């Protein structure tokens, strides 16, 4: 069987980490695209030279022409600018919406059969822009955020409870921004819901509230520490988990920014919800029961995403 092809659009910090993880896991051959002259080819060659040491079989190449993504099975998009300390993800909308439009058109031309994972921020609205520009079916264009936000939540909970991260499950829904919704009721340690763990005296409500807030601020915490850009290891690992579920038809249940067409009462909107990712892309959007408080938080997050979609539509109207 021929190897799969994974195209990475954007060869910065996340792009390089994606390439290394994809190659180490032998998910397929990797092509790195970037507009910076020489850089993607240089990174690809450097990464390829790790293969004899790491012992993986995957070719890695890079270039500056979109045609190199031709025929890709998976495309992961990180193109655009990251935020700096003091910036919100939303401050990136002007530049990154133009970038996502161009990338979407290129994917439509060169890789129309791919499963596309967008990481560029502000995430939910950038996936919407890219899907529209690409013309690909919405079930094959998703955004990576829920896996990352849930991973941060799981990590903080595992630290608090002094248990393995593997025994903590967590769900974060909504937009990938300050209004995201870590769902305490649906998050567990070995199946025990967090509210029960508070009752059992494992933690206090105050500590749990602080962890929820730290999860919401998880991206900003890294930006503040790094000073020169945003997180890249955990975002890359999260996108690779999604790509693997698609390529191997694993049917993992993963929270992703998926296109809603009626689910959760929303229409033509990308926002974070639980999904099943398999060979068909988003094979199912899982509609979980939300209580009144959770519904209000989810709606608040949806409204924040809708405001950004309106900003993009206005920017588009001004250009034309």
The verdict on 120 binding ligand PYR (CB under 6 A) reads no
> Which residue, 41 or 234, is less far from ligand PYR as judged by CB?
234
Q: Are 269 and 309 in contact (CB under 8 A)?
A: yes
Lookup result for tokens 């933690």: 203
CB of 159 to ligand PYR, least distance (A): 18
Residue 150 is encoded by which pair of tokens? 């849930």
In the block, residue with structure tokens 């829904």 = 173
- Nearer CB in complex with ligand PYR: 68/119: 119
Q: How far apart are CA 8 and CA 187, in angstroms?
A: 32
Q: Does 138 bind ligand PYR (CB under 6 A)?
A: no
Q: How far apart are alpha carbons 247 and 240 in whole angstroms? A: 10
> Does position 305 bind ligand PYR by CB under 6 A?
no
Name the one range near ligand PYR by CB under 6 A: 24-32, 230-238, 251-259, 267-275: 230-238
CB of 171 vs ligand PYR, minimal distance in Å: 16
Side by side, the strands of the sheet bearing 181-189 are 168-173, 181-189, 192-193
Nearest approach, Cβ of residue 89 and ligand PYR (Å): 6
Residue 83 to residue 219: CA distance in whole angstroms: 10
When asked if residue 175 is in the footprint of ligand PYR (CB under 6 A), the reply is no
Cβ closest to ligand PYR, residue 219 vs residue 255: 219
Site stretch for ligand PYR (CB under 6 A), options 67-75, 132-140, 229-237, 309-317: 229-237
> Could you tell me the smallest distance in angstroms from the CB atom of residue 235 to ligand PYR?
5
DSSP assignment string, 218-260: HHHHHHHHHSSS---HHHHHHHHHHHHHHHTT--EEEEEEEEE
Check residue 174 and report its DSSP letter.
B
134 is a site residue for ligand PYR (CB under 6 A): no
Distance CA 313, CA 307 (A): 10
Q: Which of 89, 101, 152, 176 is catalytic?
A: 176
Among 173, 231, 304, 305, binds ligand PYR (CB under 6 A): 231
| Omega of the bond leading into 122 within 30 degrees of 0 (cis) | yes
- Binding part of the chain for ligand PYR, among 48-56, 103-111, 161-169, 227-235 by CB under 6 A, reads 227-235
Whether 176 is catalytic? yes
Q: Return the structure tokens found at 121.
A: 């921020």
Q: Does 121 bind ligand PYR (CB under 6 A)?
A: yes
Return residues touching ligand PYR (CB under 6 A).
121, 148, 219, 222, 230-231, 235
Active site residues: 176
């Amino acid at each position: 069987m021929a190897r799969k092809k994974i195209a990475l659009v954007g060869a910065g910090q996340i792009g390089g980490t994606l390439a290394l993880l994809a190659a180490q896991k032998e998910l397929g051959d990797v092509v790195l695209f970037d507009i910076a002259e020489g850089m993607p080819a240089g990174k690809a060659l450097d990464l390829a030279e790790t293969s004899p040491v790491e012992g993986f079989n995957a070719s890695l190449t890079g270039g500056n022409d979109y045609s190199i993504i031709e025929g890709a099975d998976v495309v992961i998009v990180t193109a655009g600018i990251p935020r700096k300390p003091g910036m919100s993800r939303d401050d990136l909308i002007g530049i990154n919406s133009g970038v996502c439009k161009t990338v979407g058109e290129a994917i439509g031309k060169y890789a129309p059969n791919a499963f596309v994972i967008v990481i560029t921020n502000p995430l939910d609205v950038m996936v919407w822009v890219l899907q529209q520009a690409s013309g690909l079916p919405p079930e094959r264009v998703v955004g990576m955020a829920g896996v990352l936000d849930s991973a941060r939540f799981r990590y903080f909970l595992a630290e608090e409870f002094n248990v393995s991260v593997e025994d903590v499950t967590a769900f974060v829904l909504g937009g990938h921004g300050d209004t995201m919704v870590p769902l305490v009721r649906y998050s567990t340690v070995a199946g025990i819901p967090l509210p029960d763990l508070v009752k059992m005296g494992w933690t206090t409500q105050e500590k749990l509230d602080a962890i929820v807030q730290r999860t919401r601020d998880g991206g900003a915490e890294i930006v503040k520490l790094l000073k020169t850009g945003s997180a890249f290891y955990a975002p890359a690992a999260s996108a690779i988990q999604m790509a693997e579920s698609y390529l191997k038809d694993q049917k993992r249940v993963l929270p992703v920014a998926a296109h809603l067409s009626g689910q959760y009462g929303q229409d033509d909107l990308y926002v974070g919800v639980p999904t099943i990712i398999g060979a068909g892309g988003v094979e199912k959007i899982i509609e979980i029961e939300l209580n009144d408080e959770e519904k209000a938080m989810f709606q608040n997050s949806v409204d924040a995403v809708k405001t950004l979609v309106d900003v993009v539509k206005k920017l588009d109207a001004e250009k034309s």
